[in-house]
């Protein structure tokens, strides 16, 4: 099978590329390396079944040819995360909105009907008051702080653009709303909580819990996430569906800090940082986030293989190896 992955040198995209190469597929990755990294795909660069194009999807002149060649397209290229959005909202409009439309137009022009999976985000649910977020829930975005919701709106717009093209041009589209995803190759530069806590715990620095740490999240291992995406993209039942992808074990950020500290056998102090200090402004955090995964389980045979503790143990081992504190042979493969 020929697979095109936009954003395929990023954290999730590179694991997806790895999965498909392991399955024997041909993989074409396009990535502008804005947050993606060449190191994420370095292992594949010499493979004849792997092609890498360093390009921005908004301007890439190879897009039409790549779309025409693909049996399956994963559209992951995006400016990701609320805080990066706040730094450069215009870039979000260009990459997330114009980029998605350009990818859909390329599929239209190809005249083919590939399997298409578009990555959306749990952020689209906004301040959902329900304990578990279901795909049929109403979406609750606040009217104030207009730029705060730019990312969520860009992802909702992507969903809408993709559905419009799929309906009109008859290709198989599935939208995956990705919940918090963690695992190897996720870097801490963008403030993501798990890589931050792991690095802090293994180096003995204070573990920085924002606010009082009562906010909750549910973390999925990226190696599970990409298997779910593959199953969804190939499921005959999934086209036309928006599906949550993640894990449904909820944990407070304070308990997460305690868990990471305990698993790393670390003496790090847990410190509480006000949101204002952490984000440099009056940031409105999501208080809780947990997916209902019934639809994912109904549409696919997906089962999780990783627990939060197993992923954290793996990340601690990797962080120690990177810091030269451990032999790399102790690492889990993948």
Q: Which residues are catalytic?
A: 151
CB nearer ligand UDP, residue 62 or residue 89: 89
Q: How far is the CB of 197 from ligand UDP (least distance, A)?
A: 7
Phi and psi dihedrals of 118, rounded to 5?
Answer: -110, 130
Nearest residue to 162 via CA among 243, 80, 240: 240
CB nearer ligand UDP, residue 209 or residue 264: 209
Size of the site for ligand UDP (CB under 6 A): 13
CB nearer ligand UDP, residue 171 or residue 210: 210
Strand 115-121 relative to strand 72-75: parallel, antiparallel, unpaired?
Answer: parallel
Instruction: Scan residues 283-322 and list those touching ligand UDP (CB under 6 A).
Output: 285
Instruction: Scan residues 211-240 and list those touching ligand UDP (CB under 6 A).
Output: 215, 217
40, 100, 180, 235: which one contacts ligand UDP (CB under 6 A)? 180
Q: How far is the CB of 85 from ligand UDP (least distance, A)?
A: 11
Task: Report CA torsion sign: 153, 89, 180, 255.
Answer: negative
Contact 27, 76 (CB under 8 A): no
Stretch that binds ligand UDP, among 69-77, 105-113, 203-211, 225-233 (CB under 6 A): 203-211
What's the per-residue H, E or C state across 162-204?
HHHHHHHHCCEEEEEEECCEECCCCCHHHCCHHHHHHHHHHHC
List the x/- string, 48-87, binding to ligand UDP by CB under 6 A. Answer: ---------------------------------x------
CA distance 193 to 266: 17
Q: Does 5 bind ligand UDP (CB under 6 A)?
A: no
CB nearer ligand UDP, residue 65 or residue 285: 285
Residues ≥6 apart with Cβ < 8 Å to 186? 11, 192, 194, 195, 222
36: left (phi over 0), alpha (psi -120 to 50) or beta: beta
Q: How far is the CB of 17 from ligand UDP (least distance, A)?
A: 23
Q: Could you write out the DSSP letters of every residue in 108-171?
A: HHHT---EEEEEEEGGGGBS--SSSB-TTSPPB--SSSGGGGHHHHHHHHHHHHHHHHHHHHT-
Q: How far is the CB of 148 from ligand UDP (least distance, A)?
A: 12
186, 196, 244, 266: which one contacts ligand UDP (CB under 6 A)? 196
CB nearer ligand UDP, residue 62 or residue 191: 191
Q: How far is the CB of 192 from ligand UDP (least distance, A)?
A: 4
Interacting residue ranges for ligand UDP, rule: CB under 6 A: 81, 180, 191-193, 196, 208-210, 215, 217, 253, 285
């Amino acid at each position: 099978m020929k697979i095109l992955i936009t954003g395929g040198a990023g954290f999730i995209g590179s694991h997806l590329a790895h999965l498909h190469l392991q399955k024997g597929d041909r993989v074409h990755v396009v990535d502008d390396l804005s947050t993606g990294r060449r190191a994420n795909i370095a292992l594949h660069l010499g493979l004849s079944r792997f092609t890498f194009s360093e390009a921005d999807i908004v301007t890439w002149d190879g897009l039409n040819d790549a779309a025409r060649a693909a049996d399956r397209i994963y559209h992951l290229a995006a400016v990701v995360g609320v805080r990066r959005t706040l730094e450069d909202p215009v870039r979000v409009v260009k990459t997330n909105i114009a980029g998605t439309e350009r990818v859909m137009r390329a599929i239209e022009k190809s005249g083919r009907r590939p399997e298409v999976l578009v990555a959306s985000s749990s952020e689209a649910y906004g301040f959902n008051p329900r304990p578990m977020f279901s795909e049929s829930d109403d979406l609750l975005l606040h009217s104030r702080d207009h730029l705060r919701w730019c990312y969520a709106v860009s992802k909702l717009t992507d969903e809408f653009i993709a559905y419009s093209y799929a309906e009109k041009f008859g290709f198989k589209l599935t939208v995956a709303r990705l919940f918090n995803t963690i695992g190897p190759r996720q870097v801490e530069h963008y403030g993501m909580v798990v890589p931050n806590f792991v690095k802090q715990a293994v180096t003995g620095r204070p573990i920085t819990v924002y606010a009082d740490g009562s906010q909750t999240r549910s973390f999925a291992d990226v190696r599970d996430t990409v298997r779910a995406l593959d199953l969804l993209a190939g499921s005959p039942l999934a086209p036309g569906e928006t599906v949550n992808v993640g894990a449904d074990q909820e944990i407070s950020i304070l308990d997460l800090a305690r868990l990471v500290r305990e698993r790393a056998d670390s003496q790090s102090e847990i410190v509480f940082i006000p949101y204002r200090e952490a984000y440099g402004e009056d940031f409105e955090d999501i208080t809780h986030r947990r997916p209902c995964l019934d639809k994912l389980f109904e549409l696919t045979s997906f089962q999780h293989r990783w627990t939060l503790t197993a992923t954290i143990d793996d990340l601690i081992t990797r962080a120690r190896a990177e810091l030269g504190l451990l032999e790399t042979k102790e690492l889990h493969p993948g």
